Amino acid sequence: MEVSASASKRRNNIGIKNLLLILLFFHFSSTITAIRKDVGFQIIHPCKTTVQGRYLLSDDNGCVRNATSVNSRSRCCPQRGEKVSCHGCNLLSQCCNSYEYCVSCCFNPALISKEQVVKMKVAKPATARTYSSVFDYCAGRCCHSSESVVHENAYISDFHHCFSLPSSSSGKNSTLTEARLSGINVVVGRQGESCNSVCKSRG
């Protein structure tokens, strides 16, 4: 009888030890799997930026900043200051003297409608794609276009970065075209005569 009592006691001790080990395992395993995701792991949403200028950058939030003040990880401008700036822009003609400020001013919802922009074709052919975002439209449109040059080799004015919607055949933008051309005198010279000499001779 003593053998069966001691065997029963050993089985109970083994059962209790196993139960304690199982409880201990579940206790520590539950704390190990609960990892906080908000500690030190910030999700960085990178910005698209203009790359044309040497000193200034404009990002896809419409901010213009010095290239050295842009966040090196996200490529975004600091959040302080003006978000959309039309510094150096003629709002009537929708043209600017700086590429970066042209892109920023283009983000002004009072001047450009997002709905119009994302439906617009990038090029003339029917197979051309449309702009994927307002930033893509503004960055592309503010580059020099044929509407900002005269005689294919000279700018109409210092404000040659334009973001206005392209002129349509309906004549809807004729007032904007007239505003851009106000104050420009057309001078015609003789064949073979240089543009500079004609302009100097006519004053």
| Long-range own/partner contacts, residues 114-118 (CB < 8 A, 24 or more apart) | 116/165
**Any idea which of 17-26, 30-39, 40-49, 178-187 has the lowest mean pLDDT?**
30-39
Q: Are strands 95-96 and 149-150 parallel, antiparallel or unpaired?
A: unpaired
The answer to whether residues 139 and 50 touch, using CB atoms and an 8 Å cutoff, is yes
What pLDDT shows up at residue 118? 82
What average pLDDT does the segment 45-53 reach? 82
The residue ranking higher by pLDDT, 82 or 32, is 82
The answer to whether residues 70 and 46 touch, using CB atoms and an 8 Å cutoff, is no
Average pLDDT value over all residues in the chain: 76
**Any idea which of 36-40, 46-50, 55-59 has the lowest mean pLDDT?**
36-40
Report pTM.
0.59
What average pLDDT does the segment 61-67 reach? 85
What pLDDT shows up at residue 113? 84
**CA distance linking residue 47 with residue 60, whole number of Å:** 6
pLDDT single digits (tens) 157-179: 888 898 888 765 344 444 555 55
What pLDDT shows up at residue 191? 78
What pLDDT shows up at residue 172? 46
What average pLDDT does the segment 21-45 reach? 65
